[in-house]
Chains A and B, each alone.
Chain A
């Protein structure tokens, strides 16, 4: 590219350079140490650069070099099981080269150049290939096959294709126009990867979390937001989702979060087992960790790095779930950089383009027909951390305008140790209708009704609670006391779920259905027992009710539920007999 420029001014992560011809979003190497930065503004012969590393000690006059490339990630075999920082430098490699603390001026390839992969071609000489077509496969981990694709914007006829062991930058395929393809491609993170068509999401993401799957489902390819005041169990909920969601690939972005928590994720993930295959969960996971004290510009980039990797696997035809924890930290990074640029601030000091950036990001979710002809999806679950738990702040509000599912974490519930602390009255899902058919076919035709009834009961409970607050529960008529009790059962037996319990941590759809049904049946029987003259005290004392509370913890759920159902029948029979 063109000659070197020099640094004109430095203010924290924002550096102004002069004498260099740049394009927006070009990556430049700043200073004697070659710190990585990105051009975010151009004025006259000066360009504004956000630098991804600490800038202490850097002086005006030091040289700057333009790489001529936008900020890109390396896509290819070796992504899975990786732990990256915000700009795709593998953290284990960084630890190897610079020790326990992150120092600067070290670059590291996103993909290992040494490792060899077994490439199995799926096209032959003379085949015509278009952008996104699959030319071969690599067994990336035991259960995930990476499909090597022709990069977008390339097409042609295969002149030569190889098979065997190769490194990521070895040529495996040559096209007739002489273009050489490797197993690795680069893609600028800020640009969505092209697809042939966007589809409507129509299957639920099964998470094994009762309140999510049962009451507020998100579709595969959908978007959800978890806002939560601090201390409401947001991180645990996200980690549960990462562990248990039925997607093939998980991308987890720890964006501006706590170091110790990230360490926990980094330690815990490699030990987790994938419930379906029994293999380590890491084999289908990419982790991106950029803690709150790592450079702010890299935090801003981390979200894009993550979603680009997710798109790459989607293009192969996989279902990918992406967790971003937290998008508020990302928005704050934007705000911080914007303020250093002395841009005119919008609401609460956030840049005026906040809403645009957020919606651009969430729009990269979706179920698609990929260029490869396969169907893939990215489900984006973004955490927001509203300051002071105030949902009216700009990040939460702009997020809610875009996402279809809202899981309202509630600190009050967390204080009562009701976990997951998702408020059933404030949460919503706009997918329940669209997913209705799927539930009827795959769970039960009764499901939607069971769900609606449970929701109605919970709503009624909230109304009754207001009266109870005033007059005490004993003043209520008996049938309303019973309603309160049944609602309590739904809350405690069904909605409460213990993430740390071996069995309860994951609840399959079938179990959810049976459990909710059993509680509903108990409730119906209790109501009719009451109508036929049984005393409400006697009903409340039934042992089957307490047994229902524990049944979700049983390893052999079906037989345990059988026992409970039987005792339920007997007990209500006896009540009637009295």
Chain B
């Protein structure tokens, strides 16, 4: 089974071609020993009777034709145990924190099998992140995959951390376990995350996988799979609710493109491989809730849009797989507003099933719709004002214009450690909406106006 081969015929970038082997399984894990005694790991990409193609995870540096190749007869597996919590591992799963190796309870395939759609439970449990723009207008639910679409230089890391700190299921104090996978982020960014985890004590209930910018790109292809395997294990075997933060998906896709080019594949849009959709789906789709199991996997990935372009293949394909997106706006960031979430292009597809009388509050949907509509109108008017000046506006329009400013300043803006519960968020929404003429609140049922509108609320209670 463990024959060594010294029959490398060709080395091209991170790929090596080995000939005259016994039958080798597709996707099999490979150990490569270099002449200097050091070793690398790789995976079989293509196998035939004549030639086997291997992609090397640690990069091809130092490899030569004298290196020997050993096929392990099994696909890549992650040793798992509850002791994963609190550990910091490399992008290929080796301990980085000086701690002992994981004593495995089980060894799981990192590709993960697709959940039978029939076994899935539609996600419904509201997660309170304490951020108004998310809770109020783009609600996250347990089992959802909701990425942050950001850009370089924007505070997506702060937002992700704030969510990791504050996320709770309403009415329970139970915290999420966090699985954090860094793909190609800088050492500085990684430090920032680690410090925050340590500061808040979050590390105890976190598993960290770090593939940094100077680690081999091809390792990035397995880092998120290791992370998701760990998350699934904690969720489905240990009944935990797991929040997975993958950052940055763009680096992952770059690595995918790099591998595609190395394999001389026919490139798709902008040089990314044609199977990028399926590949991304194999990551994103590993979020969910399974019938009859207590735990859940929720994904909150960070994706930086190249050139802030939401139509770029990476955000575009992601948007087709994830259940919405939180879009970070450079314009708001420049105005000094944190968190600079632009609610208009943001969306949570599972919001409607996670809100309402039994889950948040009966008026939630109406308030959210009205805030959307009013803010959209206010923003449009800004464009008009730029042309005709504020004085040309009707009184009604002026109100909407002011609303848009207030909305950004009070609803969107909040502190890095400000944790607003959903009632606070909705009441704040009402307070802002009350600046508009009541007749303009067309998205809200009259009974909610009577019950929650600041102008009526006091009176009714007074009676």
Contacts and interface: CB of A to CB of B under 8 A. Distances in A.
Interface of A: 8-12, 16, 54-62, 83, 91-92, 94-95, 99-103, 230-231, 235, 254, 256, 258-264, 266-268, 289, 291-294, 296, 329, 332-333, 335-336, 339, 342, 345, 348-349, 385, 387-390, 411, 415-417, 469-475, 492, 500, 549
23 contacts: A9-B47, A12-B275, A60-B23, A60-B47, A61-B23, A91-B117, A100-B115, A102-B115, A231-B345, A235-B349, A258-B321, A260-B143, A268-B122, A291-B281, A296-B278, A339-B275, A349-B266, A387-B313, A387-B317, A411-B345, A415-B372, A472-B397, A473-B394
Interface residues of B, number: 82
Given A57-B28, A345-B266, A390-B311, A94 B116 contact: yes
Given A56-B27, A339-B268, 14 more contacts: A12-B26, A56-B111, A57-B25, A58-B25, A60-B24, A101-B112, A230-B320, A231-B319, A294-B114, A332-B274, A342-B266, A388-B313, A472-B384, A474-B392
Contacts of A472: 384, 388, 392-394, 397
A260 B384 contact: no
Interface stretch (B91-99, B283-291, B429-437): B283-291
A56 B75 contact: yes
A260 B123 contact: yes
Contacts of A256: 277, 281
A292 B278 contact: yes
B311 A92 contact: no
Contacts of A292: 277-278, 281, 285, 321
Contacts of B262: none
B324 interface: yes
Interface of B: 23-28, 45-49, 74-75, 109, 111-123, 143-144, 265-269, 273-275, 277-278, 281-282, 285-288, 290-293, 310-313, 316-317, 319-321, 323-325, 344-345, 347, 349-350, 352-353, 369, 372-373, 376, 383-384, 387-388, 392-394, 397, 442-443
Contact of B316 (A329, A387, A470): A387
Nearest to A335: B274
A466 to B, nearest CB: 12
Contacts of A263: 117-118, 120-122, 288
Most buried by A among B117, B349, B376: B117
Given A102-B113, A293-B114, A416-B376, A500 B288 contact: no
Contacts of B369: 417
Nearest to A6: B49
Contacts of B376: 415-416
A99 B119 CA distance: 8
Given A56-B25, A292-B321, A101 B114 contact: yes
Contacts of A492: 442
Given A91-B117, A267-B122, A291-B114, A348 B23 contact: no
A59 B119 CA distance: 31
Given A101-B115, A291-B117, A387-B311, A329 B25 contact: no
B274 A336 contact: yes
Contacts of B325: 231
A101 B47 contact: no
Contacts of A260: 120, 122-123, 143-144, 287-288, 323, 350
A102 B114 contact: yes
Nearest to B45: A11
B345 A415 contact: yes
A293 B286 contact: yes
A194 B416 CA distance: 66
Contacts of B121: 263, 267
Contact of B46 (A9, A266, A329): A9
B444 to A, nearest CB: 12
A411 B345 CA distance: 8
Nearest to B123: A260
A91 B285 contact: no
B236 to A, nearest CB: 8
A349 B274 contact: yes
B66 to A, nearest CB: 25
A18 B400 CA distance: 71
A416 B23 contact: no
A336 B281 CA distance: 14
B288 A259 contact: yes
B448 to A, nearest CB: 15
Nearest to A16: B48
A258 B323 contact: yes
Contacts of B109: 56
B26 A56 contact: yes
B47 A59 contact: yes
A398 B146 CA distance: 32
B24 A231 contact: no
Given A60-B49, A259-B115, A387-B316, A348 B268 contact: yes
A95 B118 contact: yes
Contacts of A259: 114-115, 117, 120, 285, 288
Contacts of B316: 230, 387-388
A100 B291 CA distance: 8
A390 B270 CA distance: 15
Contacts of B352: 500
A266 B372 contact: no
A232 to B, nearest CB: 9
B90 to A, nearest CB: 23
A230 B372 CA distance: 18
Contact of A103 (B45, B49, B113, B372): B113
A316 to B, nearest CB: 27
Contacts of A293: 114, 278, 281-282, 285-286
A344 B313 CA distance: 22
A261 B274 CA distance: 24
B46 A417 contact: no
Contacts of B49: 8-9, 60-61
Nearest to A333: B278
Given A332-B277, A339-B265, A471 B388 contact: yes
A259 B113 CA distance: 13
A490 to B, nearest CB: 15
Contacts of B265: 339
Contacts of A348: 268-269
Contact of B353 (A102, A264, A339): A264
B436 to A, nearest CB: 16
B118 A329 contact: no
B285 A258 contact: yes
A254 B285 CA distance: 15
A289 B117 contact: yes
Contacts of A474: 392, 394
Contacts of B353: 264
Contacts of A549: 442
A227 to B, nearest CB: 13
A9 B113 contact: no
A55 B26 CA distance: 7
B115 A10 contact: no
Most buried by B among A55, A235, A260, A471: A260
Contact of B116 (A57, A95, A473): A95
Contacts of A416: 372-373, 376
Given A230-B320, A231-B349, A10 B117 contact: no
Contacts of A388: 310-313, 316
